[in-house]
Chains A and B, each alone.
Chain A
Amino acid sequence: MQPLSIRKLNVWYGKQQALKDITVDIPYHQITAIIGPSGCGKSTLLKSFNRLLDLNEQVRINGQILFDGENIYAPGVDVTDIRTRIGLLAQKPFPLPMSIYDNVAYGPRIHGLANGNLSQIVTAQLQAVGLWDEVKERLKDPATGLSGGQQQRLCLARTLAVQPEVLLCDESTASLDPISARGIEELLRGFKDKYTLVLVTHDIDQARRLADYVIFMWLGELVEHGPARRFFEQPQQELTQAYLAREIG
């Protein structure tokens, strides 16, 4: 079963078309990497999955994205429910201006997931991202006091605490130092059996390391997609071959 099926998706920013006729399926419980040069529409595609794109008033969208067989752009769809089930880890870590504890607790609180064991949830999520030992002494301190890599792991814990089914990551390691970036990568790799992951990256090597499935975009169009092994070893399109050989991009 495909958790996310994109069907003839077109997106415009004002008059400029950013996505052209995208049709692709995201495989269940695997890591899908969206790659392509800057400005090709990777972030736009990713944000269309959890309807964060709608926040921009200029944006016009047509086409369908089926999530569990339901079109998330159909009228009357509960957007908060979509965003709860499809979590997003942004490019730059943005800790909410509250304590470390409250950052993780915020989601479970508003969704009523706590049932009296909120601190257990927070502990479990902080352990899952390997942050627990670093912050257990200062859970009440403001989250802005953490380092960049710690902040990004906190944001990951915060997103996971909502219990999403799909996790979207928009170049979530790009603003981090190499060691923190590897740390996040390892975490994501380990999440495969629990979540469907979609990562945007412009780092081909990262896609090679992590991806099970690859989507290659160029100027708003989907050029080629397929299982990672086939995609990297036998790319079908000339454009893909040139991009992988770093002749263009």
Chain B
Amino acid sequence: MEATPDTTIRPLPAKKIAASRLSRWRWFKDAGARTMLGATAVIICLLIVVITAALTARSWPILSAYPLAELLTGQVWQPMRGLFGFAPFIAGSVAVTLVAMAFAVVPAVFSGMYLAEYTSSRTRSALKPLIDLLVGIPSVVYGLWGVLFIVPLVRDHIGPLSDRTLGQFFPFFARTNPSGYGLLAAGFVLAVMVFPLIVAVTEEVLRSIPREMRETLLALGATRWETTRCIMRRAALSGTLAAIVLGFSRAFGETLAVMMLIGNTPRIPSSLFDAAYSLPALIANNYGEIMSVPLYESALMGAALLLLIVVLGFNVMARLVIMRLTKRS
């Protein structure tokens, strides 16, 4: 029989550890730091689990009272009569988010490309804090700006103009609502809100591409634009997609600014000028009122759960992609 090598780990003799006070103190600090940092991570994970569990528990009454398909596709929201259709809110949220993305994605990706590939480091270091600032502005400020400037603009100029031109051919551009509050105003302001986020992440993704790639392409005689295009297509595509998804989930979850601008009308929108209602606005507007109506609170909890699942799902997806990218480079 072969002799198996002795692989058991023997503890160091106790005397040796005691001999070095310093190393023991350092060991203690190291272990302490590890425990603390680990605990924080665990707490954050627990928090998500706890919130999800609580929301599930509280929305259980409505989930067990109606089939899920009926809740998700039901078009009427009349809690007093026991009608809980989420479809108008889901449609409203999706629609306003899509409008926002339609406005934001292309300019934001191009701005990110410009920042990463075209500017000098001095311009970049001047512009980046500005972008971070934009990310940090409270949403109520954006909402107020929308109410004061965008809504009147839509009401008095864009609405009539669109109605006279495109609206004649496509119902999607018909001015169905003279107030100015609706998908367009909310979507536009939302676009302004997610724009800096997408710019920042796109820039970060492009910056993480190895310098050699840029040098290789330029050394082959590629122009700036050809270089940027190749980097974008071959190395930064999934990262940019992640940036867009991140913007999407941010827009989908935005509450206050949308609530101030969308018109809060629970109807599936069919025109850019329709007033609609979003999931977060539904919760924020109604929670705490007429809670005596049976299943009302549970229905709002269900809406919150839905929102959480969508936003969390999108976020996790985007982060995973970004993580994989940064690990590779």
Interface residues of B in 217-253 (CB under 8 A from A): 217-223, 226, 230, 234-235
- How far does the Cβ of B204 sit from chain A's closest Cβ, in whole Å? 18
The interface bits of chain A over 35-57 (1 if a CB of B lies within 8 angstroms of the residue's CB, else 0) are 00000000000000010100101
Q: A55, B221: Cβ atoms under 8 Å?
A: no
Q: Contacts A94-B213, A96-B213 given: A88-B222 contact, CB under 8 Å?
A: no
B218 in complex: contacting residue of A55, A85, A94, A159, CB < 8 Å: A55
A190 to B220, CA, bound (A): 22
**Hey, which chain B residues are within 8 Å of A158, CB to CB?**
220
Cβ contact within 8 Å between B217 and A50: no
Query: Considering the chains assembled together, what is the distance between the CA atoms of A40 and B158 in angstroms?
Result: 65
**Contact digits for B92-125, partner A, Cβ 8 Å, 1 yes 0 no:** 0000000000000000000000000000111000
Chain B contacts for A111, CB-based, 8 A: 221
Whether A110 contacts B212 by the Cβ 8 Å rule is no
Q: Which residues of chain A from 80 to 102 have any CB-CB distance to chain B below 8 Å in the complex?
A: 80-81, 83-85, 87-88, 90, 92, 94, 96-98
Interface size on B, residues (CB 8 A): 20
What's the minimum C-beta distance from A117 to chain B, rounded to whole angstroms? Answer: 19
Cβ-defined contact, A92 with B215, below 8 A: no
- Is B216 interfacial (CB-CB < 8 Å)? yes
A110 touches B222 (CB 8 A): yes
Contacts of B220 in A (CB 8 A): 83-84, 87, 106-107, 110, 158-159, 162
Tell me how far the C-beta of A62 lies from the nearest C-beta in chain B, rounded to whole angstroms.
20
The interface residues of chain B lying within 8 Å CB-to-CB of A88 are 219
Most chain A CB within a 10 A radius of its CB, from B214, B221, B222, B226: B221
CA of A155 to CA of B221, assembled, Å: 14
Cβ-defined partner of A57 (8 Å) among B121, B213, B214 = B121
Distance in angstroms from B289 CB to nearest chain A CB is: 55
Given contacts A57-B120, A57-B121, A110-B226, A97 and B234 within 8 Å (CB-CB): yes
Determine the distance from Cα of A55 to Cα of B218 in the docked complex, in whole angstroms. Answer: 10
Contact string against B for A residues 18-39, beta-carbon threshold 8 Å, 1 for contact and 0 otherwise: 0000000000000000000000
**B212 close to A90 (CB less than 8 A):** yes
Contact of A84 among B213, B215, B221 (CB under 8 A): B221
- Binary per-residue interface labels of chain B (155-197) against chain A in the complex, 1 for a CB within 8 Å, 0 otherwise: 0000000000000000000000000000000000000000000
Measured between C-beta atoms, what is the minimum distance from A97 to chain B in Å? 5
Contacts of B216 in A (CB 8 A): 90, 94, 96, 155
Question: Which residues of A are found within 8 Å of B234, using beta-carbon distances?
Answer: 96-98
B215-A90 in contact (CB<8A):
yes
Chain B residues whose C-beta falls within 8 Å of the C-beta of A57 in the assembled complex: 120-122
- Return the contact of B215 from the options A52, A81, A110, A159 (Cβ within 8 A): A52
Cβ contact within 8 Å between B221 and A107: yes
B244 CB → nearest A CB, Å: 21
Complexed CA–CA distance, A155 and B212 (Å): 12
Q: Which residues of B contact A106 (CB under 8 A)?
A: 217, 220, 222, 230
| Cα–Cα distance between A110 and B218 once the two chains are bound (Å) | 11
Residue of B nearest to A159 (CB): B220
Give the shortest distance, in Å, between B238 (CB) and chain A (any CB). 12
Q: Which of B121, B210, B215, B216 has the most CB of A within 10 A?
A: B216
Q: How far is the CB of A153 from chain B (nearest CB, A)?
A: 15
A110/B213 in contact, CB under 8 A: no
- A87-141 at interface with B (beta carbon < 8 Å): 87-88, 90, 92, 94, 96-98, 106-107, 110-111
Instruction: Give A52 to B159 CA distance when docked, in angstroms.
Output: 52
A151 to chain B, nearest CB (A): 12
> Contacts A57-B121, A97-B234 known; A80 to B223 CB distance under 8 Å?
yes
Given A57-B120, A94-B212, A94-B213: A81 and B221 interface contact (C-beta under 8 Å)? yes
Q: Of B213, B218, B222, which is within 8 A of A97 by CB?
A: B213
Spell out B's residues near A (CB within 8 Å): 120-122, 210, 212-223, 226, 230, 234-235
Cβ contacts A to B, 9 pairs, < 8 Å: A52-B219, A57-B120, A80-B223, A84-B221, A87-B220, A92-B212, A94-B212, A110-B226, A158-B220
Q: Known pairs A90-B215, A106-B230, A110-B222. 8 more at Cβ < 8 A?
A: A52-B218, A52-B219, A80-B222, A83-B218, A83-B219, A83-B221, A97-B235, A98-B234
